[in-house]
A and B are shown apart, each in its own frame.
Chain A
Amino acid sequence: MKLLAKTNRIYLAFSLAIYLFAGLAFYQVVRILIYNEVETRLKVEKRDFEAYLKQHKAWSDTTYFVENKIDVVPVGRQTRLSETFIDTLIQNRYDQELMPFRQLTFYVPIQGEMHRVSIRKSLIQSYQLIEVITVTMAACLGLLLLGTFWFQGKLSGRLWLPFYESLSRIKRFNLASATPLQLDKPEINEFRELNEVLRKMGDKMQQDYRSLKEFTENASHEIQTPLALINAKVEQLIQSEKLTETQTRWIEEIYQASRRMARLNQGLLLLAKIDNQQFTNNQTVDLAALLAEKLNAMDEVLLHKRIAVEIRNLVPFTVQLPPALADSLVANLVNNAIKHNHAEGRVELASNGKNLSLGNTGNALVSNPERLFERFKKEGSSLDSVGLGLAIIKEICDTYGLQVEYAESNGWHRFDIFRKIGAD
C-alpha cells in the first residue's frame, strides 16, 4: 500500500470516529437542554395548577381548552405518590397522528379525593429543532471532513514529492554504469539528509563494484601472465635435443598442468563476471539454431567418435542473452554432450519453442545428479576437465531467466532448458 493511501486511510478513519462522536455528543447536549427547558415549564405549570387549586378548592377542565394539555383523573387510594416525567405519544384530535409529548404526572387530593394529574407539553417543535440542527451539523462536518481530506491529500502529496522523486531515481540507478546516483537537495531537512546518505551509499557501492570488477580482471591478468611465461618456457625447453624421455614426460606434465590452470582461471573469471552482471549487451538469440550450428561445427569430433546427430523439430528458441554468453552456453552444452558420450553414440537436439533439449548417450551417472551443476563437480576423474562447464551453464541460465534441468535414464542423459515462469 502506498504511504499516502495509508495515511489518508488512517486520517479518514480517525476523523470519521471523532466527527461521529462529536455529532452524537452534540445531539445529546441539545436534547438534554430541550428536555430541561420543557420540564422546567411543566413544573411552573404544576405550581400554577396547585395555586389554582388552593384558590378555588376545586378543578374544572373547562379552564383549559387546549387539547391534551392536562388530564385529571380520580384514582381512589393510591400508594405511589411520586412525581414522574415520561415521554408519551398522544393521538392528534384532527388527523389521527401520533405526536410526541413530555408528561409530568403527580398526585394531588382535590376535595378530599386523590387525583392523578398529568400535564403535558408537545415536543414536536423541539424535535424539529433537533432535526434541523443535526442535519445542518452533519452537513457542516461532512464538508469539513471532505475539505480537510482533500487538503491533507494535496499537502502530503506535495510534502512527499521529493521522497518519491528520490525513490524513482534510485530505481533507475545502475550500479554498473559510470554515472553516479544524482539526487536533489529538497528543502525539508529529513529528506535532504536521506538523499545525502543515499548518495554516499550509491557512490560507495559503485566504487566497491568497480574495484571488485577491477580485482577480477586484474587477478585474471596476474594469473594468466605467469601461465603464459610457463607455457613459453616449456615450449622453449622441449626444443632442446638433450632431454631424456623421462624429462620430457615431466615437462609434458608441467605443461598440461599449466594449461589446465589457465582453463580453470578462465572459467572462474567467466563465472565471476556473470555473477557481477558485467555482461550487459543483451541481444535476441535463437539458442536452438546456435546449438545446431555448434553441432555442425563440431562435425569432425562427432565423426571421429562416430556419434550420430539427430535434430528434430527445430522451432526457434529465442532468449535475451549477451552474445558472448550465448556462445559459451552452447559450447559448454555441446562439449558436455560429446565428452560424456561413448563411441557410436547419439546426440539428439529438439526444440518446440518452449523447451530446448539436448540429449546424449553415455555411461550411467556415478555421482549425485543433484550436485552435478556445482562448481568443480566432475564425473569421474578425467584430467582434461576442470569441472566448471555445467556450473557455467547453470549460472548463465539462472542469471538470464532460464531454467536448466538434467535427467538420466538407462544411459540416456538429457538437458532441458526452458524459460522460468514469470520471466520474459
Chain B
Amino acid sequence: MKVLVVEDEKGLAESITDYMNKEGYLCETAGTFREADERIYLYQYDCVIVDLTLPDGDGFQLIQTLKKLLATTGVIIISARNALEDKIRGLEIGSDDYLTKPFHLSELNARVKSLIRRRNFGGHTEIRFREIRVNPSSRKVYVNGQLAVLSRKEYDLLLYFLSNIDVVLTKVSIAEHLWGDNIDSADSLDMVYSHIKNLRRKLLEKGGSDYVRSVYGIGYKFGEP
C-alpha cells in the first residue's frame, strides 16, 4: 500500500509518515505543490493525504489533477480551515474525507484504513484480529465464531481499536472519534470509559481475551496482552 503525504509543515509530515510506516504502509512525503505534482505523475498511490494550503499552490488543484490521472486513488484532505465550503468543494472534486487540523494521527490512520478497505474490496473484506472477526459491510462482530451483539458506538469503538492496534489512543481522540468535535469533554470521557467497559465485557462473554489496556489514565491501548 502506497501513501503520499502532501504537507508543507515538515514536523507534521514526519509524524504522519512515521505513524503510517509503523502501520505497514509505504509512505512518501512532498512538501511543495511542485514536488507533489511531480510525484503523482510518476508514481501510483493508493491514498494521498493533501494539505489544502501549500506554499506554492492550491491543494484543490492537485486533487483535480490526481483524479484525472488515476480516479481510484483515495484522497483525504487535511486542512486548518474548518470551512463548510471547503469541505463541500473537496467532496465535489472527488476527495473522500476531510480532517480539520489539529487532528489525531490515530483518527487519520483509521480513516485511511477505512478508505483503502472501501476502495480495494468495496467493503467486502473482513477484519481479523485473533479470535475477533468483523464484517464491515454488515457491521457484525464474531468472537470465536459467535455473534457478539454490540451497540453502534461499541462497534465504532472496536473498529477504531482494530485500526490502531498496539497504539496508545488518548481518551480525547476516542471521544472525538465517537461523537465528533462539539461534545463536552468531561461527560464524553466518562462515556468513553463506560463504552470501553461494556465492549470488554461483551468480548469476554463470548470467550475472547482482554485486549484493552489502560495507559496511565491518558488513554487506552488495544493489542496483544
Q: Which residues of A contact B (CB under 8 A)?
A: 217, 220-221, 224-233, 235-236, 238-239, 243, 245, 248-249, 251-252, 255-256, 258-259, 262, 266, 269, 298, 300-301, 304-305, 323-324, 331, 335, 338-339, 382, 384
Contact = CB atoms under 8 A, between A and B. Distances in A.
Nearest to B12: A229
A239 B109 CA distance: 15
Interface string B182-197: 1111111011001000
Interface residues of B, number: 42
A255 B170 contact: yes
A304 B168 contact: no
Interface stretch (B68-76, B80-88, B126-134, B137-145): B80-88
A335 B184 contact: yes
A228 B170 contact: no
Contacts of B185: 384
A248 B215 contact: yes
B104 A301 contact: no
A330 B155 CA distance: 28
Contact of A227 (B15, B82, B101, B167): B101
Contact of B186 (A232, A243, A382): A382
Interface string B138-162: 0000000000000001000000000
A180 B39 CA distance: 40
B80 A220 contact: yes
A189 B84 CA distance: 48
Interface of B: 9, 11-12, 15-16, 18-19, 53, 78, 80-82, 84, 100-106, 153, 167-168, 170, 172-173, 179, 182-188, 190-191, 194, 215-219
A255 B182 CA distance: 18
A220 B81 contact: yes
Contacts of A298: 183
B82 to A, nearest CB: 6
B106 to A, nearest CB: 7
Contact of A262 (B11, B102, B218): B102
B216 A249 contact: yes
Contact of A252 (B101, B182, B187, B217): B217
